[in-house]
Amino acid sequence: MSRLKKAVGYVIRTQDYGETSKILKVLTREAGVISLIAKGARRPTSPFGAALEPLTLSEFVYYDRAGLKTLSQASLLRAHPELQRDYDRLTAALRCARFVHRLLEEDHTEERAFELFGELLEALSTEEDVRLYELAFPWKLLARLGVAPQLERCAVCGRELPAAAASGGRGPAFSQDKGGLLCGGCRSPSAPGSAGGGEGAREIPLSPGAARGLAMLLKLPFPKLKRLKLSPEEIALGERLLREFVAHHLRPVADAGGGGKATARGPRRRA
């Protein structure tokens, strides 16, 4: 028999179901991502009100069972009206919510992800450089889950970057295969700018400043991230590296909704 449980969480995805109901994906502190069916949620007389809107923080009472759970009560805790009033802030937050939904398996507690998503929404509600915070969130989430690439030291020799960046007369590069940044001395002889192909063709050269910026993106907490000044070109590079890292190290697996989840097959979780 199902039993009632309570959880506080952020609504990261909603989907209409039938004529009057909704299916929600909620990132909770207590149970990770859970799926809830809110029966009658689209009726004008629904008791749920604004508690089911995307990105809201609400308290949910539901009947617990494997897979789709039935929502009984929902109480709004935080609505983030600043996001709802600004298109750029709202779309950035929704893209990050989709990343969470793609990355995390359901019914697995990930309190670190819950806390980080809350920090992101608070930052997007107040800070000006929306693109910087949108870039920082997935990198930080990968780091908290232990699957982020190595960005502070050379992924091969372990030397600190960017102090070791100019080793071998070349700047640093990012390697998906080797799990992060490489110093000049550990880059493949066939890297761009050298004769030949092979592994070097998959290394993406970075300036020492861009390498340092990526490292600081992970290191600085959201309240201090505005100290970091990245150029539009450096942010675009960070976005490219993120896309390629996720595509290389995470593989989609089918879920019940016909979409996909992403499970790590690349760098192992760090203890």
pLDDT at 247: 84
State which amino acid sits at residue 173.
A
Which CATH architecture is the domain 3-80 placed in? Beta Barrel (2.40)
Structural tokens at position 169: 């007369």
Q: Average pLDDT, whole number, for the chain?
A: 85
CA-wise closest residue to 181 among 229, 138, 238 = 238
CA-wise closest residue to 104 among 92, 116, 88 = 116
Summarised one tens digit per residue, pLDDT across range 187-222 is 887 655 343 445 545 789 988 889 999 999 999 999
pLDDT at 131: 95
Q: Where are the domains of the chain?
A: 3-80, 82-147+234-264
Summarised one tens digit per residue, pLDDT across range 154-196 is 999 998 875 544 445 578 899 988 889 998 888 887 655 343 4
pTM: 0.84
Q: Report yes or no: 133 and 225 within 8 Å, Cβ to Cβ.
A: yes
Please give the Cα distance from 99 to 12 (Å, whole number): 10
pLDDT at 271: 34
